[in-house]
């Protein structure tokens, strides 16, 4: 085993605590600016939230060998994680403080393979429809030449977050 990768991440409780006090868009913009740490999955895969506006977000990733499947191209799970993050965060960008979401489903269509030679890829998530309890979003994965690499749709459940007890913040149970 000749190759290795080491990475670090911040305590996810920091960003989770912000969700109760900031709107979704404020939270995402705080992640983009570095005021709030991104989710650990971002460090695990090496992707970055680069843009956030109401109903639309963009994540970017420079593919590496660590993302490969046995066939020598980026694993479909990496595509799916980027697309799930983009569609979910697009929904999050529309939510008020104290309101959360979770993915109910994710349907991915893989159109082109990605390798390290592809260069930076970006996942663009947009909200298609949103109601009180559910939202429908899509995400598209593009290469640097704006070729569509994959497409996904996702339904998200919207819910009120439980009240947080400041005395218990930082405690893991």
Residue-range definition of the domain harbouring residue 140: 12-163
Assign residue 72 the CATH number of its domain: 3.10.129.10
Identify whether 6 is part of a domain: no
Residue 19's pLDDT is what? 77
Q: Do residues 68 and 75 touch, judged by C-beta distance below 8 A?
A: yes
Whether residue 118 is contained in a domain is answered as yes
Q: Any idea what the Cα angle at residue 85 is, between residues 83 and 86, rounded to 5°?
A: 65
Distance in angstroms (rounded) separating the CA atoms of residues 119 and 68: 14
pLDDT of residue 17: 82
pLDDT of residue 18: 78
> Into how many domains does the chain fold?
1
Determine, yes or no, domain membership for 150.
yes
Residue 92, pLDDT score: 98
Q: Report the pLDDT value the prediction gives residue 173, as an integer from 0 to 100.
A: 46
Extended strands (E) in 47-147: 47-53, 56-61, 99-110, 121-130, 134-142
Query: In the beta sheet, which residues pair with residue 105?
Result: 155
Spatial distance between the Cα atoms of 15 and 87, rounded to a whole number of angstroms: 19
Q: Determine the pLDDT at residue 169.
A: 52
Closest CA to 30 of 122, 102, 92, 123: 92
- 1, part of any domain: no
- How many beta carbons lie within 10 A of that of residue 123, not counting itself? 29
Classify residue 68: in a domain, yes or no.
Answer: yes
Domain assignment of residue 47, yes or no:
yes
Residue 117 lies in a domain: yes
| Residue 169 belongs to a domain | no
Provide the residue-wise pLDDT of the chain in tens; the chain has 173 residues. Answer: 689 999 999 999 988 887 789 999 999 999 999 999 999 999 999 999 999 999 999 999 999 999 999 999 999 999 999 999 999 999 999 999 999 999 999 999 999 999 999 999 999 999 999 999 999 999 999 999 999 999 999 999 999 998 766 555 555 54
Specify the pLDDT at position 166: 56
Alpha-carbon distance of 35 to 21, in angstroms, equals: 14
């Amino acid at each position: 085993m000749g190759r290795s990768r080491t990475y670090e991440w911040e305590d996810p409780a920091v960003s989770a605590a912000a969700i109760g006090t900031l709107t979704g868009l404020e939270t995402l913009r705080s992640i983009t600016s570095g005021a709030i740490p991104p989710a650990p999955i971002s460090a695990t895969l090496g992707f970055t939230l680069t843009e956030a506006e109401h109903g639309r977000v963009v994540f970017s990733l420079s593919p590496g060998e660590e993302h490969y499947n046995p066939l020598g191209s980026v694993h479909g799970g990496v595509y799916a994680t980027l697309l799930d993050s983009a569609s979910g965060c697009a929904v999050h960008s529309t939510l008020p403080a104290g309101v959360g979401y979770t993915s109910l489903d994710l349907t991915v269509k893989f159109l082109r393979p990605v390798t390290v030679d592809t260069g930076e890829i970006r996942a663009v998530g947009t909200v298609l429809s949103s109601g009180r309890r559910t939202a429908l979003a899509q995400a598209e994965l593009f290469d640097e030449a704006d070729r569509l690499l994959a497409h996904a749709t996702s339904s998200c459940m919207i819910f009120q977050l439980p009240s947080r007890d400041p005395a218990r913040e930082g405690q893991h149970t």
